[in-house]
């Protein structure tokens, strides 16, 4: 049974598109800083006098910041008006990235990447709530998707451009630019997003109740596991196509662009499906992910088919707005916590997918086995969703009838 969604918290007044653009701009900055480092590992390693694999510690540090920051900020910021909280999060994000650009050494850089990651999950969660609360109920997922579009455009344009600028003018320039984007976002939110009323009943304790809600935990489980397949392929997509399809390494930027196009298509399509029938959309998207990621195993032997399935793998992003909307339905009074944890769960999916795919490769399987890992994770996510829905309906049927039948 699906709960009635929360009531709207307000509208965007006279500038709805500018308000959504402001929120999406923050997602663009976050997505750029998350993915650009993968293309700048070599210059960062050379400048900070470490090995390329050691730069991976900075990537892990950022992800850890996301996981820690989401529940921490959601609980501590429960009583802060949402617009003010968004501005504060962007200012922290700006400081983290500008300071990263000025890091004097490797370990200070790693620590500052943790700081930059802290606002990530909370920003997306709060921005999604603001966007969904400003539109009719039947358009919530599409509003969330428009905010998340900043993240997908970052994959398409932000990370490749940041990599190019970082390669040409120094890696520090890329992080400084992200800091500038964050400052611009804070200004735009202040100008175009109307004030959000503070919930007088909000409290850290109430937000923490999200951590014990069965339906919230099952939805986060789908995000942690079912979303991992996309990252299992994406993390190793370049060596897979280079080694198995004899693709030129010079095509690396094009691969990122193709993947980015897929994420945009998936975000828009997934949002529309979720607005039509949310509880049917989620399992359908997971089945699609299992199919596409499994076929990548065969497609990766040829450049053209491999690139096609890189794009199709990107459409797995359809799961994002659907799960975000589901959390709004089941979180009850702990909206901020649940919405923020969704993006922490996505980062855990990133780590899990990359780790399992890496194990498969280390054990001697072919590079494209990452696709089969993705299929297993998508099916596992589907099983988690089905189990949660079965328990939800069983609990609903077991509840006593209060009104005369």
Q: Is a pLDDT exceeding 80 seen at residue 89?
A: yes
User: What is the predicted pLDDT for the residue at 399?
Assistant: 55
Q: Which of 338, 66, 350, 354 is nearest to 218 (CA)?
A: 338
- pLDDT band at residue 1 using 50, 70 and 90 as cut-offs: very low
Q: Which of residues 314 and 254 earns the better pLDDT score?
A: 314
pTM of the model: 0.81
User: What is the predicted pLDDT for the residue at 14?
Assistant: 60
**What average pLDDT does the segment 200-220 reach?**
76
Integer Cα distance of 269 and 5 in angstroms: 21
For 213, the 3-state DSSP assignment is: coil
CA dihedral 325, 353, 317, 293 (to 10 degrees): -130
Is the distance from CB of 74 to CB of 209 less than 8 angstroms? no
Domain ranges of the chain: 14-195, 202-397
Q: Which of 65, 38, 58, 62 is nearest to 162 (CA)?
A: 38
Q: Which of 231, 261, 89 is nearest to 160 (CA)?
A: 261
User: What is the predicted pLDDT for the residue at 202?
Assistant: 61
DSSP letter at 251 equals G
For 115-150, write each residue's pLDDT tens digit: 999 999 889 888 988 888 777 888 888 888 888 888
Integer Cα distance of 297 and 303 in angstroms: 13
Is the distance from CB of 353 to CB of 228 less than 8 angstroms? yes
Q: Which of residues 6 and 233 earns the better pLDDT score?
A: 233
Helices (H), 363-401: 369-398
Domains 14-195 and 202-397 share a fold: yes
For 327-348, write each residue's pLDDT tens digit: 888 877 777 787 788 888 888 8
CATH number attached to the domain at 14-195: 1.20.1250.20
Is the distance from CB of 9 to CB of 143 less than 8 angstroms? no
Q: Which of residues 13 and 154 earns the better pLDDT score?
A: 154
DSSP letter at 301 equals T
Q: Which of 100, 253, 103, 107 is nearest to 182 (CA)?
A: 100
CATH number attached to the domain at 202-397: 1.20.1250.20
Q: Is a pLDDT exceeding 60 seen at residue 383?
A: yes
User: What is the predicted pLDDT for the residue at 280?
Assistant: 95
- pLDDT band at residue 203 using 50, 70 and 90 as cut-offs: low
């Amino acid at each position: 049974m699906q709960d009635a969604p929360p009531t709207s918290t307000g509208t965007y007044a006279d500038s709805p598109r500018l308000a959504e653009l402001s929120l999406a701009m923050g997602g663009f900055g976050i997505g750029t800083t998350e993915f650009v480092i993968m293309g700048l590992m070599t210059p960062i390693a050379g400048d900070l006098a470490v090995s390329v694999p050691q730069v991976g510690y900075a990537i892990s540090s950022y992800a850890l910041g996301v996981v820690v920051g989401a529940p921490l900020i959601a609980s501590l910021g429960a009583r802060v008006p949402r617009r003010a909280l968004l501005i504060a999060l962007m200012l922290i994000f700006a400081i983290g990235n500008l300071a990263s650009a000025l890091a004097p050494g490797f370990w200070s850089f790693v620590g500052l990447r943790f700081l930059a990651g802290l606002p990530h999950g909370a920003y997306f969660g709060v921005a999604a709530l603001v966007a969904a609360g400003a539109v009719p109920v039947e358009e919530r997922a599409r509003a969330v998707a428009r905010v998340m579009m900043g993240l997908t455009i970052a994959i398409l344009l932000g990370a490749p451009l940041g990599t190019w600028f970082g390669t040409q003018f120094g890696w520090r320039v890329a992080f400084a630019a992200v800091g500038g984007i964050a400052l611009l976002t804070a200004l735009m939110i202040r100008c175009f997003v109307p004030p959000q009323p503070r919930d007088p009943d909000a409290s850290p304790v109430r937000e923490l109740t999200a951590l014990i809600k069965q339906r919230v935990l099952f939805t986060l489980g789908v995000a942690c596991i079912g979303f991992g397949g996309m990252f299992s392929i994406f993390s190793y997509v370049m060596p897979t196509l280079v080694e198995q399809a004899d693709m030129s390494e010079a095509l690396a930027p094009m691969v990122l662009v193709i993947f980015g196009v897929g994420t945009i298509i998936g975000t828009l399509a997934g949002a529309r499906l979720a607005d039509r029938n949310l509880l049917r959309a989620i399992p359908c998207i997971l089945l699609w992910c299992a199919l596409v990621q499994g076929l990548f195993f065969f497609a990766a032997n040829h450049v053209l088919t491999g690139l096609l399935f890189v794009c199709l793998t990107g459409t797995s992003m359809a799961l994002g707005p659907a799960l975000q909307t589901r959390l709004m339905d089941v979180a009850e009074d702990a909206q901020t916590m649940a919405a923020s944890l969704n993006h922490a769960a996505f980062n855990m999916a990133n780590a899990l997918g990359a780790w399992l795919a890496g194990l498969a490769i280390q054990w001697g399987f072919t590079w494209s086995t990452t696709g089969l890992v993705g299929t297993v994770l998508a099916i596992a996510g589907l099983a988690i969703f089905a189990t949660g829905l079965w328990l939800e309906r069983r609990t609903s049927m077991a509840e006593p009838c209060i009104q005369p039948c």
